[in-house]
A and B are shown apart, each in its own frame.
Chain A
Amino acid sequence: SQQGEEDPQALSIQEGENATMNCSYKTSINNLQWYRQNSGRGLVHLILIRSNEREKHSGRLRVTLDTSKKSSSLLITASRAADTASYFCATGYSSYKLIFGSGTRLLVRP
């Protein structure tokens, strides 16, 4: 399987703390994208990191990519209750097709 796998499957933290989610994949990729899904809602694109990049930032989000280990991490700093959602990594093996992981369910307690 080429699917990404997120770790942990579920994470519960206190508001203000940082949340780190990891994603591993199995084959070479062109890019890796992180998405958020609030309960019952659609997928919101968070950030895209290309295979030749090692780190990207967007607001309170920091994504790293280690192609030698075939892994990526998503760090959310100073978490808020509104960050409660499921987070998915999706790997791009071609220019158009994404392979999704099973997701990490994040709960941020007020």
Chain B
Amino acid sequence: EAGVTQFPSHSVIEKGQTVTLRCDPISGHDNLYWYRRVMGKEIKFLLHFVKESKQDESGMPNNRFLAERTGGTYSTLKVQPAELEDSGVYFCASSQGQGTTGNTIYFGEGSWLTVV
């Protein structure tokens, strides 16, 4: 079974440009999450989808970030315009169901973004 896949794995863009990151969750996982780690700091939650609906986007840093999950399958995270402080690794993750006792959340390899 394929895991969470992300594309691109690495991206170098200039300040002011746009970058779109894509995530394909594990098949059958309704829950999809985006996290990021910037400048060697902690890995931080960005947002959570259940199918195509945004359940929680409290971690999105500002309106330069837009996440979508049309059709409830893959998701994209667009950064427009990119700033230097956006450099870091963006992780996508998915899980099957929610529940109250927690479910294993599986992460992808990450998309490593460098803004120059």
Q: Are B105 and A33 interface neighbours, CB within 8 A?
A: yes
User: Are B109 and A48 interface neighbours, CB within 8 A?
Assistant: no
Q: Which of A30, A40, A43 contacts B91 (CB 8 A)?
A: A43
Residues of A within 8 Å of B108, CB to CB, are 42
A95 contacts B98, C-beta separation under 8 Å:
yes
Which residues of chain B from 57 to 116 have any CB-CB distance to chain A below 8 Å in the complex?
A: 91, 93, 95, 98-110, 112
Q: How far is the CB of B58 from chain A (nearest CB, A)?
A: 9
Within the complex, the shortest CB–CB distance from B1 to chain A, in Å, comes to 14
Q: Which residues of B contact A103 (CB under 8 A)?
A: 42
Considering only CB atoms, which chain B residue lies closest to A3 in the complex? Answer: B42
What mask results when residues 72 to 110 of chain A are scored 1 for a CB within 8 Å of chain B, else 0? 000000000000000010101001111111110000000
Complex Cα distance A88/B40, Å? 13
The interface size of chain A toward B, counting residues with CB under 8 Å, comes to 26
- B56: CB under 8 A from chain A? yes
Identity of the chain A residue whose Cβ is nearest the Cβ of B112 in the assembled complex? A40
Q: Please, how many angstroms separate the alpha-carbon atoms of A103 and B99 in the complex?
A: 27
For A3, A42, A44, the residue with the greatest tally of chain B CB atoms inside 10 Å of its CB is A42
Q: Given A30-B100, A50-B102, A95-B98, do A100 and B43 touch, yes or no (CB 8 Å)?
A: yes
Cβ-Cβ contact count across A and B, 8 Å cutoff: 66
The reply to whether B102 and A42 form a contact with Cβ atoms under 8 Å apart is: no
Contact A88 B48 (CB under 8 A): no
Q: How far is the CA of A102 from the CA of B42 in the complex (A)?
A: 5
Which one of A30, A51, A95 has the highest number of Cβ atoms from chain B below 10 Å of its Cβ? A95
The reply on B55 being an interface residue by CB < 8 A is yes
Is the C-beta of A69 less than 8 angstroms from some C-beta in chain B? no
Chain A interface residues toward B at CB < 8 A: 3, 30-31, 33, 35, 40-45, 48, 50-51, 88, 90, 92, 95-103
- New contact pairs (7) apart from A30-B100, A42-B109, CB-CB < 8 Å: A3-B42, A33-B102, A40-B112, A41-B109, A45-B106, A95-B99, A100-B42
